Chains A and B, each alone.
Chain A
Amino acid sequence: MVIYLKNIFNDAGDITLFAARFFKEVLRPPFEIKEFIRQCYTIGYKSLPLVGITGFIMGMVLTLQSRPTLAEFGAESWLPGMVALSLIREIAPVITALICAGKISSGIGAELGSMKVTEQIDAMEVSAINPYKYLVVTRILATTLMVPLLVVFADAVGIYGGYIGINIHADVNLFRYFSQVLASLEFLDIIPATIKTFFFGFFIGMIGCYKGFTAANGTESVGKAANSAVVAASLTIFIIDMLAVQITDLFF
């Protein structure tokens, strides 16, 4: 029991040190700009179709599902505002983050894990390249910056999906739809949701890197690293989301 608890505390301490090391290294030159851009491309651009399709479906389905309830109150004109609010405040950030956790976190975990297992990381260290800086910092920075952008895309595509969802039953002009959406939005809806996504991105990258970087020797630990990265990242996303919403609620 004591050993179990000690292990948990050990892990927590390790993660904290890992994260602290990121903040130390990110500000210190030399910067691996080329690798950072490559990571941004794989993480951001390559995830766009997945995030776009999910966002579109979420927006359309949310519209179709909310419609009967709102129609009962004769409040169908609130549908655009409601869909846009729920997409921007909650659904798009969380769904995008979960998809990124599945796609990016597991990818990073598996990549770094296999590098660790095949001792490539050790080889880097021997050849005077800081493996943390080259592999971890670039990836964490890329996820931290790309996930918010992906969320913006998901918002946009999702709201357009809502427009199509409304036009299945009613006939609403695109301009009218977007003016209704914008009329219902406030900065309080956008800013906390956007800040939240930076934390999502950071933790997706950080957990993936940590799991891969600390993988044990042996091929099976690669799979383990990828798997636990997804699980931990998804769980962390929900915990961060809860905290973020509570803090927003507290201050505004």
Chain B
Amino acid sequence: MHKEPGYTWKLGMFVIIGLVLFVLTIYFVGKEKNLFGSTFHLKTKFKTVSGLEVGNNVRFSGINVGTVKNIELTTDTSVMVILLIKDDVQQFIKADATASIGSDGLMGDKVLTISPGTVSLPPVKDNDMISSKSAIEMEDVMGSVKASVDNAGIITAQLAEFSYKMNNGNGALSKLISDEAFSSSLKSTLTNLQTSSSEFAKFTTKMNDGKGALSKLVSDEKFGKTLDSTMSNLQAGTKGLSENMEAAKNNILLRGYFNKKKKAEAKEAAALKKKADLKKKNDLKKSGAGKKITDEKEGGVLNATDSSMQQ
């Protein structure tokens, strides 16, 4: 009927491009999901998989190298996770590699991460078992957060109490902060201190540089030397004077005076001795009577305390 179908090639192109697009999409999605290409299996056991699901990515050094193929409970406390991993990375995963479960971002999917093992060890084989590290559970994090929040609560309560006392208390620190009178008196004290210290500074400068007696005493070397020689002269002078005195005592004119003085001194000493003896006797008598009085007093006090205790 239609002898010259000039449209056939257009139709063929349309169909082929459509089919190729479809097949390519299927192929690339399949590649993404590891359904095509050569793969191998790894097994690992966890106590909890914390929401890991079949189809989640497996990462090795941050690269997606496979997917979680199966998750099954083996005993009541352990979960077997079977991983499907590209053949290319088998040589890099050593026998002591460890698996751990992490999260891809804050809200993202769970990700199973394989940490590489020791270089010297042989690589894993198909269906090998690798060890696992338990992931940090959100509940653990929340628990520690709660503890620190509780502590923060105590600290802030104490801080509030402290600042309340600071504002309303009568202690030195609170007065330092809030009392105006105290601060003004403190200020005047400080100004006084300042003036006195400046005076003191003037004094010391005068002391060091001045020409007065005191400053010379402190700082002038010459003055020191003259003072020293004066002192030695004085010493010699007094020595001479005492010799003079001895000579005077033996002098005929003055001997009488000195003897009289000696006698009077002896008499006075005797009278003093007598007086002292008398005083001692009186003291002894007085102390005996006093003791009796104090004893009576003590007894009264004791009786009073007894009666109060009985009550």
Contacts and interface: CB of A to CB of B under 8 A. Distances in A.
Interface string A24-62: 000000000011011011001100100000000000000
Contacts of A18: none
Contacts, number: 60
B10 A45 contact: yes
A37 B8 contact: yes
A114 B13 CA distance: 32
Contacts of B5: 34, 37-38
A230 B79 CA distance: 56
A35 B29 contact: no
A38 B4 CA distance: 11
Interface in B5-26: 5, 7-8, 10-11, 14-15, 17-19, 21-22, 25-26
Secondary structure dominating the interface of A: helix
A149 B29 contact: no
A190 B25 contact: yes
A136 B269 CA distance: 165
Contacts of B29: 182, 185-187, 190
Nearest to B31: A182
Interface residues of B, number: 22
Interface string B29-49: 110110000000000000000
A40 B8 CA distance: 10
A124 to B, nearest CB: 12
A34 B1 contact: yes
A182 B11 contact: no
Contacts of B17: 153
Interface in A152-169: 152-153, 155-156
20 contacts: A34-B2, A40-B11, A40-B15, A48-B14, A149-B15, A149-B18, A152-B22, A152-B25, A153-B17, A153-B18, A155-B21, A155-B25, A182-B29, A183-B32, A185-B25, A186-B33, A186-B55, A187-B26, A190-B26, A194-B22
